[in-house]
Amino acid sequence: LALRPAAVARPSARRGCPRWRSHGHAPHWRSRRWSGLCLPATRDVDALHLGAAVLQTRMEEVYTQVDVVLVPGTSFPAPLITEVDVEDSPGFLQVLAGITRCTQPANYLGQPALVLPMGFSADGLPLSMQLIGRPFGEGRLLRLAHAYQRETDWHTRVPAL
């Protein structure tokens, strides 16, 4: 089962996207809001409902065997600011989709999840892991994250700039 990130839709392909007051907001916020306002929801609603039901059933099966699912926080080390500061470039939505790829399934299903630092790449960039819990399992996730951070010091380290 593969998920296609909804954020790769091209905003320019959609007419009638609402306008909003953008002054006073950071450029990244405006771009993210624009991408959210211009998703072609009318064509995807049925597919989203079906996909959610299939994924929810699969996750219920998984949670009969485990309490928490451990997955990457991102599929690559933390990017440099110059790599993600692409707000008005044509590749912005692809960059955003890449950064959020691993967190989208839990968000989509409304499952509790959190991301923790877990080390550094060979290039010295931060790496992360994500814990995904059962519905209403926030307490367990927070206790597990707290125990992890008591035993490690990754959350106190910073990359060399």
Give the mean pLDDT of the chain.
77
User: Which residue has tokens 């953008």?
Assistant: 22
Residues 46-81: tens digit of each pLDDT = 666 777 777 788 888 888 899 899 999 988 888 777
Angstrom distance (rounded) from CA 24 to CA 114: 29
Q: Which of 98, 115, 129 is nearest to 5 (CA)?
A: 98
Place of tokens 């306002």: 37
Q: Which of 99, 100, 116, 118 is nearest to 108 (CA)?
A: 100
pLDDT, tens digit (0-9, with 9 covering 90-100), for 100-128: 888 888 888 888 999 999 999 999 999 99
Q: What is the mean pLDDT of residues 134-140?
A: 91
For 129-155, what is the mean pLDDT?
A: 94
What is the reported pTM?
Answer: 0.64
